[in-house]
Structures are given as C-alpha cells and as structure tokens.
Amino acid sequence: MTRGTHSPSHTCRIVPPYLLARIAEVDDPNWQHAAAAARASLLRDDPFRSIRAPEPHPHAPGVRTTTKPGAVANSPQRTVSTAAGVEKLPGKVVRREGDKPSSDVAVNEAYDGLGDTFELYWEAYHRSSIDGNGLPLNATVHYGKNYDNAFWDGERMVFGDGDGQVFNRFTIAVDVIGHELTHGVTEKTVGLQYEGQAGALNESISDVFGSLVAQYAKRQTAAQASWLIGEGLFTAEVQGVALRSMKAPGTAYDDDVLGKDPQPSHMSGYVETTDDNGGVHINSGIPNHAFYLAATAISGNAWERAGQIWYDTLLGGDVPSTATFAVFAAATVAAATARYGADDSATHDVDGAWRAVGVVPAG
C-alpha cells in the first residue's frame, strides 16, 4: 500500500504537537535546522493544524480480545521496511522474521523492539500480538527527511530519523515502540476516545505498557526502572532526559529551546486546554504517576501484579470509551479486587495510588 505525504490526523504520535510547535518557533540561528525540521514534521502530521480544532478520536469501543497459551502463535511475525527518506509506506522490505541482523542499526532496533513488545504481552499476559490473535508486526524506518516523530497508523510502526539536533532516531527507545503498539491494544480492547481525560488515559496506558516493555526486556524491578518515556531520544544538546517521566511528571526536560516539561503529577495541576486534543499528552502525567505509585508500592516486577491489574482493566468491560480518570481508577480497583481480593495489599495500593494523585475512584 502506498500512502500520501502524511498519515491520518487521528494517528497517535509519540512527540506531542506542543513540543514540536515550541521548537518550530525558535528564531535562534543556531537552531534553525531543528526549527525547520519541527515545522515540516508538524505539517506532515497535520497539514490542517492551523485552521481546524482538534477532533475526537474516531475509535468506537473495540472488541475485547485475549488469548490463552497455545491458542495462537507464540512468537512474532515481523517485517521491517525502509522508506529510504521519502514519505511513502510501506517502503522496501529489508528484514523479515528470522533473517540475520541488518547492517542498519535502525532496522535492527525496530525488529528487536517489535519482538520485545510481543514478548511482554505473550509471556506476561498470554496475549498474542496486538489483536490477541497473532497479528503480524510491521515497521517502516527512515520515514521522511529529518522527521521528528514515530507513530502507529493502525497497520504498522513508522519511525523518523529525527533532526539530529534535538532528536535522535526514533527507534532508539524500546519503550517508544511498546507505547505506539499499545495504542493498537487499547483500540482492540477499551477503544478510548482520543480527547480529554479519555485521551489522556489512552496515552497513559501506552506509557504504562511501553515502560513495562522496556522493564521486561531488561528484567528490571519497579525499584530499578527509570520510569522514563523516550529516554535517549534527545541529543546531548538538549537539557533533558526523556519526553516524560512517570516517576516525577514535569521533570523530564527543562531546556531553553524546548521549554519545561508541562506534565502535572496531581489533579491540582490538571491543564484545561483545547490544544493536543484537550491535553492528552500533558494530563496523562496524572494516571502515569498513579501507576508508578501503585507499582512501586506493590514492589517486585511491575509487569506482574501492577501490570496485570491494568491489563485486566482493559479486558474487564467496565471502561467506556469516554472514561474519566475516576471511572478508570474505579475499574482498576475492581480488577485488583477480582484477581487478588478486596483485602489484598495490591488492591489497597492501587486505590491509594489514585487517591495520592487526587483521583477518587468513582463509586
């Protein structure tokens, strides 16, 4: 399939538009390369950005899918292509499942990241790929020239190479791959709308499982993990460590060009805005921090009890597509109760984590 010069406007991307807009407006001669790349990336992501308001995400509630061990493929089927610097998909196939590593590091990073994501979902939750039925995992690297983003378009992962001044290549962070593929899982389960609190939950769920992909690949405990999203994406010229921090939202970067990380960690800092579909990349810091607090309170491997509760929540049928933070919080407490019991410490830890960020579970 061949696409035009941009992906659909509802496609979920790892770098929020407000961050690219900030870079695009820089008038310092030393940063003109990055500014031009950011402007081009914004236009590529949404060519009508300046003349229309954000629209709700079109996803309706999805069909909740899961698998049992042995039901379907228990190993990934990966295909990585290269767009070779142009903006057409899927590009030329350069590595298929089982092929030897490529001489292109981006190809290998994409291939490994697809595999790491498949492994987490299969080994931890017995889910075979994004759809629960062994969906082949496809990726395209080297999309466009100096493209400052990565996204899941409903069919494949697509990675830009970054501008080299603010952003490195987007295959460099495995949690980015896990994040974007999890948008597909969310679409197939709760189908959260991509606007307001539901949209922030959509982004947060992707951050949660993106972080768990990285932790599982490194076999890190909750205490050992960095809880950073997009670690390594920024070049050494940027005063920042990642796009977001689940451990300490609002601290991921503080830079003259990028500005300061705007994410709140508590409802007292909730941002009312029409930008970014109602602040989906900003306010996701609140549910992100709730998961971090729950996972570290429960302790051990975050993908086990804490991750299992969040995954059960996706499959439980209690989360509407327009869910608020309070509704989702209640669903996580219900999921913890169903699996571990009302008196279990994990259930209390989940409830306490939401209350610590100013969210009272509904009902």
Active site residues: 180, 281
Contact indicator for 55, 82 with CB cutoff of 8 Å: no
Nearest CA-CA partner of 246 in 109, 357, 351, 121: 357
Find the largest Cα–Cα distance for the chain.
Answer: 60
| CA-to-CA dists, residue 356 to 33, 107, 266, angstroms | 42, 41, 8
Helices 345-356 + 325-340 axis angle, to 10: 170
User: Do residues 222 and 346 touch, judged by C-beta distance below 8 A?
Assistant: no
Q: How far apart are the first and last CA of the chain?
A: 47
What are the backbone angles phi and psi of residue 96, rounded to the nearest 5°? -110, 170
Q: Which residues have C-beta within 8 Å of that of residue 197, sequence separation ≥ 6?
A: 278, 283, 323, 324, 325
